[in-house]
Structure 1
Amino acid sequence: MEFEKLHVFFRRVSTKGQDIATQEAADLSYRESLNPDEVMIINENAVSANKKSINDRPEMQKIISLIKEDKVDTIYAFDRTRLFRDFYDGMEFTDLVLKHEVKIVFTSVGNGHLPASDNIFMEGLLSLFSDIEGKNIARRSGETRRRYPPQLLGYRNDKETKKYSKDSDKKEVIEQFFSALTEINTIDELHSLIKTFQKDLKCKSEMSLINMARNPFYAGHDLVKGINKLRHVDPYLSLETFDQLQKAKDELFKAYVNTMEQINVLVKLFSPTCGYCKKTLNYRQENTSVYGFFICSNKAHRKVKVKIPIIELQKIVEQVFQEVANKLDYKKLCSHSLESFKNIKRQTESEISIIELQIKEFMEEFLLGSNQYSEDWKMDPRYKKANHLKEEKQQLVNNLSQKEMLLENNKDIAQIVEKYLNNRSRVSLPLLYSLIIKQLIIYEQGLDIEVFAFDYLQNMQTELIYEGDESAWI
C-alpha cells in the first residue's frame, strides 16, 4: 500500500494559563474531512516563540524532520504567529515547505489573517510584522515588570494603590549597602562587600545585590527609554546619586558579573573528587576573594586536608592541555572520533547561529527599505549580502557533514584535532576539557588527572610538576 502523507495540525499556547480550545475548534472542520490515519496532532503547551528559538522547540523540530523526509502533505495552524514569531525562523521554515511542496493552511483566515502563499517576498514581510508584533508584546510585558515588579528586595508593594514603600526591616541595611558601594575599587572588595550584605539581607544569590546596585527602580526611575520618574516608588537614593554610582562603578560591576560567570562554568566543569573518600569536592567561596576553592568536608579523614584553589586547578588543567597537544598520537585517537565530532558540531552550530542573525538583519533592512514593485529588487546589495551569508552558512553545514563522514570513517581525524588543539587551546576550555579530561582526583599534596585516550600519548611524562603560589602539585 502506498504511503499517504500526513496532515499535521499544529497548535501552540505561550503560557500555562492559555487555552488551546480555540485553535482546536478552528481546525475541527478540516480534521473531520480527513481520514484519521492521515491526521497528526502536535500541541506546544507553554512555549513562547518570542523566548525560544526553533532549536529549543522539540515539537517544531519533529515537524521539520517529517517535512525533510517528505512525509507531510499539509500543515494546519491557527495563524502565522502560532508557527513562529522570529522572522528568520519563519523565513527558513517558508524556504523548507516550498522546497518540499508542503501546503500551509491557516484555520483562522476570515478573522483578519491572510492565507499562506508561495510569494516569498510577501511571506517575508508578514513574518517580519509577526516578529515585530512579538517583540512589542515582550517589550510591553518587560516595561510593566520594570515599573511594577511583583516583588523586589527592600520594597513592600501595596496591590490596591500600586505604591512601593521601603521595607522597614531592610531599609537601613540597603541604605548602608548603597553608601558602601561608593568606597570599593576592586573585584575582591566588591565581592567582600556583597558577601557581608548578602548575609544581612538574607539573599541567596550574589547577583541579587549586583542587580540592586544597577537597578534605577531604587532611584524611583525607569531609564530604559529616557528619564521616566516612577511616582509610585519611594526611592532609596536620588537619580543624581544613582547616575554617579553607575558612572564610577559600571565597569567594576560588569567585570564582577563576567568573573562570576566564568567561575560558575569552571565549578561545573571540573567537579573534582577526593582521592581518599572518592566523593565530589564541595566548592567554597572566600569572603575576601572572588576566587574560591574546592574542599572535601568528609570527617572520615579529618586529619588529611584535601583542598585546592580553583584558579590553581585551572592553571594545572591548562598545563595538561598543552602537554597533551604536544604528545598526542593522533593516528591512534580515531576510536575517539564520535565524541570529538559532537564537540566540533557544537562549535560549528554556534558559528551558524551568528551568521543566521546577520542574515536576519540584512533581510529586515531589505524588506523594509525596498520597493517590492521594482523589477531589479534582486540587485539590492542587502539582498545580495544575505544570499552570500546563506552560502557561507551552507558551506559550514557542508563542511560539518564532510567532517562527520571523515570522523565516522576514522579518516583524517589527526589533522582536525591537531589544528583545533593548537589554535584554540586558550579559547574553548569546556570543549577541550570534555575531549581530554576524564576525571580530576585531589589528594592532600597532589592530584591525579585521568585523561581520555591516555594510551594514545607518545613519550608523555606521567608526572607533571606545577609550582603554585603556596605549594607544588604533582
Structure 2
Amino acid sequence: MYYGTLKVYEDFIGVYCRVSSSTQKIEKQIALADAYLNTQNISKVKVSYFLDDDVSANKLALKDRPKLLELLEKVKLGQIKTILVSHRDRLARNFYEYISIIKVFYEYGVNVVFTSTGQPEFSRVLAMESLYGIFAQTEGQNISGRLSDVRKMYPTNIFGFIRLGKRKETTYKPDPKYLRDLKSFFYSVIKTEDVNDLYKVFMDYKTIFKNKKFEDLYKYLHNPFYASRLKTQYGYDVLPHVEPILSFNEFEEMQLVLDKHRGSLLNAISKSTNNGLIHPLCSICQTKMQFKSSQLGESGYYVCRNRKHSEIKISVEEYNQLISSQLTMIIESISTKKIKTDVYESLYSLKVGYEQKLKTLERELKYIQKMITDMIGPDGRNIPKELITKSRNIKNLISMTNVELIQIEEAKKGVNNVVHMIKNRLPGYMTNYEVNFLAPLFFSTIEIDEDNLIYHVTFGEYIEERGRKSDIGA
C-alpha cells in the first residue's frame, strides 16, 4: 500500500519559531502554534518543529539560521505544505530576505498561518505581502537601534570604569586601578610614528593589562565611551553620566592613527590570535597542548603544558597547512566502492525493516476496518470512538512509514552523486570554510611530537592509502 510522494506529504505542517536572545522564551511561540493545532483538531503526527533559539534575524543572515534553512529545504522537497509561525518578523527582519522566502512559499504552493493575534492573513498577492515585509523590517531596525544605543549608553560593565547607581541614575567613574594605565595606553597610541611602534604599544599593554586579547585592546581604542561620547548616525553625542578618561579631541587624534594603519593592524591581530583547525594533543603525555599568542604579526603557536615536553611545539600557520594538505590526500584516498557498498547495505536493512512494519500495520488496519464494518451491520450501531481513533492513528503510521520508504529510495539515488562530489570535486575546490568544517569530521584527534603530526582518522576503514603522519618542517 505505497502512496505517491505528494499524497504522503500533502497535509504535513511545519512550525517555525525564533527568538533572538537566550533571555527570550521560545515556548510562547510554540504554545501559539499548539493552540492553533488543537483548535483545528490537527494531529501532531504530521507536524515538525523548526526552532531557531537565540538566533537574531537582525545580526545573522539567512544562511546562519539553520532551522529556517532546514524548513525551506523541506518545502522545496515538497515535504511541508503548511507553515505555522507567530509573526512575519520571525521569518525575517530584512525586506529582501523576507521576499525571497515568500517567493519560495509561492513557488511550492505553501500556505502560511500567522498565529499571533492581529497579524494580517498570508496574502497570495506579492505586492501586499511585500508591504507587510517592509513593516517587519522597519520594526526590526527600530528595535535593534534602540537596544544597541541603550547598551552603548549604559553598558553592564566596561573595562576601566566603575558603574554606580541604577537605571537612569546610573553613572560611570574611571576605575582608579586602571585609570593611569589606560590613559598611558591611549596617549602612547597617539604618539606612535609608524605601524611597528603601534605593534610595540599593543605588545607592551597586553602584558600591562594582564594578557588582555589584542582584539580587546583594539576595541578599547575605538570606543568613544572613554571620551564620554556615543557614536550615532548623526555624529557623536555627549554622555553626561560618564566621566571621561581622555578628551574628545584626543580620541579623534587616536582614530586618525588607527585609520592610517587599520589594515596592517587587523591582519597582524588575526595572524597572532588564530587557533588551529583542531586542538592538538601532545603525543607523549596525551594532554591538550596550550595555545599561545605570539608577537603581533606573527603566527600563534601550540606548546605542551608540561615543561618537560617544552620542545614539542608548532606554529598555528604551519599546523593548519599540514592539516589541509593531509586532508586533501585522505579525501583522494577514499575507497568509494566500499562506501557505496556499506551505505547500500545499511539502506537495504532499513528498507526491509520498514516494509515489515508496513505489512504489520496494514494487517492491523484491515482487522480494525473489518471490526468496524461488522459493527455497522444492518442495524447501524454506533462505532466506538476508540476504534475510530485507533484506525486513524494506524493510517497516520502507515503514511509516516511510506515517507521513510520514499526517503530511503531518494537516499539511494543520491549516493553516487555525493560520493562523486567527495572523491572528485571536493579536493580541488576546498575553501577555508570547508576545511574548517571537514577537518574535525575526518580527524578525531591529532597528536604532535618533535618531528611529526600523527593523525587519527575517523573513517579509516574507507581509506586505501592511509597517510597517518606528516613531517613538521618538511
Q: 1:33 aligns with which of 21, 30, 40?
A: 40
Give the CA deviation at 1:184. Answer: 4.2
Aligned-pair CA distance for 1:272:
3.9
Partner of 2:259: 250
Give the 3 Å change call, closer, same or farther, for CA 189–316 of structure 1 in structure 2.
farther
Residue 155 of structure 1: CA displacement? 1.4
1:159 pairs with 2:168: no
Q: Aligned match of 1:148 in 143, 154, 177?
A: 154
SS of 2:249 mapped into structure 1: helix
Deviations 1:428-449 (A, max 9, x none): 87579679988765444x3346
Task: Say if 2:294 and 2:300, in contact at 8 Å, map to a contact too.
Answer: yes
Q: Is contact 1:188-1:290 (8 Å) kept?
A: no
The answer to whether the 8 A contact 1:221-1:230 is kept is yes
2 CA distance for matches of 1:11 and 1:455? 45
Q: What aligned pairs does 1:155-304 form with structure 2 within 5 A after superposition? A: 155-160=161-166, 161-184=169-192, 190=198, 192-202=200-210, 204-225=212-233, 226-265=235-274, 267-269=275-277, 271-286=279-294, 290-299=298-307, 302=308
Q: Deviations over 1:97-142 (max 9, x none)?
A: 2233222233446x3x432111123222322331232122112211
Question: In structure 2, do the counterparts of structure 1 residues 212 and 296 end up closer, same or farther at CA, with 3 Å as the change threshold?
Answer: same
Q: Which residue of 2 aligns with 1:124?
A: 130
What is the CA-CA distance between 1:143 and the residue it aligns to?
1.6
Range that drifts further, 20-29 or 276-285: 20-29
Q: Which residue of 2 aligns with 1:138?
A: 144
Supply the AA of the counterpart residue of 1:97: F
How far apart are the structure 2 equivalents of 1:17 and 1:435?
33
Match for residue 447 of structure 1? Answer: 452
Gap change, CA 1:202 and 1:159, over 3 Å in 2: farther
Q: Which amino acid aligns with 1:213?
A: L
Q: Which moved more, 1:216-225 or 1:252-261?
A: 252-261
Per the TM alignment, residue 178 of structure 1 is displaced from its structure 2 partner at its CA by 0.9
Superposed CA offset, 1:384-416 (max 9, x none): xxxxxxxxxxxxxxxxx9xx76654548944x3
Q: Would you say the 8 A contact 1:185–1:252 is kept in 2?
A: no
Q: For residue 215 of structure 1, report the CA deviation from its aligned partner.
A: 0.9
State the secondary structure of the residue aligned to 1:156.
Answer: strand
Query: Once the two structures are aligned, what percentage of the paired residues are identical?
Result: 22
In structure 2, relative to structure 1, the CA distance for the partners of 1:223 and 1:53 (3 Å cut) is closer
Distance 1:412 1:252, change over 3 A: closer
Listed as ranges, the matches of 1:319-358 within 5 Å are: 334=336
Matched pairs, number: 387
Q: Displacement of 1:317 after TM fit?
A: 6.7
SS at the partner of 2:277?
A: helix
Q: Please report the TM-score for the alignment, with normalisation by the length of structure 1.
A: 0.64
Following superposition, the deviation at residue 174 of structure 1 comes to: 1.0
Residues of 2 paired with 1:331 and 1:286: CA distance? 36
Q: CA deviation at 1:245?
A: 1.3
Pick from 311, 320, 338: which aligns with 1:305?
311
Q: Give the AA of the match of 2:255.
A: Q
Give 3-state SS (helix, strand or coil) of 2:276's partner.
helix
SS in structure 1 at match of 2:177: coil
* 8 A Cα contact 2:215 2:269, kept in partner: no
Query: Displacement, 1:17?
Result: 4.3
Between the aligned partners of 2:310 and 2:17, the Cα distance in structure 1 is: 60
Structure showing greater radius of gyration is 2
| Cα distance in 1, alignment partners of residues 272 and 294 from structure 2 | 13
Distance 1:66 1:140, change over 3 A: same
Q: Does residue 93 of the first structure (1) align with residue 101 of the second (2)?
A: yes
Alpha-carbon spacing, 1:27–1:115, altered in 2? closer, same or farther (3 Å): farther
Question: One-letter code of the match for 1:233?
Answer: V
The AA in structure 2 aligned to 1:255 is S
The 5 Å alignment of 1:94-113 reads 94-108=102-116, 111=118, 113=119
Aligned-pair CA distance for 1:213: 0.8
Unaligned runs of 5+ in 2: 2-6, 341-410
For 1:307, give the aligned amino acid: K
Structure 1 unmatched ranges of 5 or more? 339-400, 467-472
Distance 1:269 1:108, change over 3 A: closer
Compute the displacement of 1:218 (Å).
1.1
Counterparts of 1:451 and 1:26 in 2: how far apart (Å)?
Answer: 46
2:49 matched to 1:50?
A: no
What displacement does 1:287 show? 5.8
Task: Decide whether the 8 Å contact of 1:75 with 1:102 is kept in 2.
Answer: yes
Give TM-score, length-normalised by structure 2: 0.64
In 1, are the aligned partners of 2:331 and 2:422 still within 8 Å (CA)?
Answer: no
